[in-house]
Amino acid sequence: MTKVIGLTGGIGSGKTTIANFFKEMGVPVYIADDEAKKVMQSESIVKEIKTAFGGELFENYILNRAKLAEIVFNNAAELAKLNAIVHPAVKKDFEIWLLKQKKYQYVVYEAAILFESGRYKDCDVIVTVTAPEEIRIERVLKRDNTTREQVLSRMKMQWNDEKRISLSNFVINNSNLKIAKEEVVKILKILNIKQNQS
């Protein structure tokens, strides 16, 4: 049976970079945030979002993601409301995807809020990606059209590294890409040894 490696880390930690390293090593990767964007375009989810947050978030039937982010990232109750709509749909989508990966020993499920959503319980192994806070802030400012304050407020909405690490099997410090890639190789070696023994 295919085992699931849960890959997580705070905003700006470089989870996607690490996910791509796994992909390079031949491990199929499911990026939950990317798939959530697709799921949110489906008719049934659009209907639910309209009901929960109002039609003014849509322009020509297209969801204004920036407007929605403004609402949810400053309000835990609104974020919970959105997650209650999107998470079950992403979970279903992942289960369908997983069925198509039967020939693989492991797959990676990459999600920013793996712990917060409770999805970590569905993973066999958990890898947390970390990086110093300043590096993370710089990365997000370069990547997104946002402010330092917005990045910090999003960080506050997520679990901190200590809490994540306490529930993880492996930790990758993603300050140096060369070393981070070596860590991925090391993890896969350990997992293959364990798999062969079971």
- Indicate the domain borders of the chain: 1-28+107-198, 39-100
Q: Which of 2, 1, 6, 25 is nearest to 125 (CA)?
A: 6
Q: Is 146 left (phi over 0), alpha (psi -120 to 50) or beta?
A: beta
DSSP assignment of 108-166 equals EEE-TTTTTTTGGGG-SEEEEEE--HHHHHHHHHHHSS--HHHHHHHHHHSPPHHHHHH
Q: How many residues does the chain have?
A: 198
pLDDT for residue 193: 60
Positions at the binding site for ATP? 12-17
pLDDT for residue 198: 43
pLDDT for residue 195: 53
Please identify which residue in the block is written with the tokens 């470089």. 14
pLDDT for residue 182: 96
Packing angle between helix 43-53 and helix 65-72, nearest 10 degrees?
Answer: 50
Q: Alpha-carbon distance 198 to 194, whole Å?
A: 6
Q: Which of 90, 103, 108 is nearest to 40 (CA)?
A: 90
Class of domain 1-28+107-198: alpha beta
Q: Which of 119, 115, 154 is nearest to 11 (CA)?
A: 154
- Residue by residue, pLDDT tens for the chain (198 residues) are 899 999 999 999 999 999 999 999 999 999 999 999 999 989 899 999 999 999 899 887 788 988 898 888 778 899 889 999 999 999 999 999 999 999 999 999 999 999 988 999 999 999 999 999 999 999 999 998 889 998 998 898 889 999 999 999 999 999 999 999 999 999 999 998 665 554
pLDDT for residue 196: 55
Positions at the binding site? 12-17
Phi and psi at 174, nearest 5°, equal -100, 45
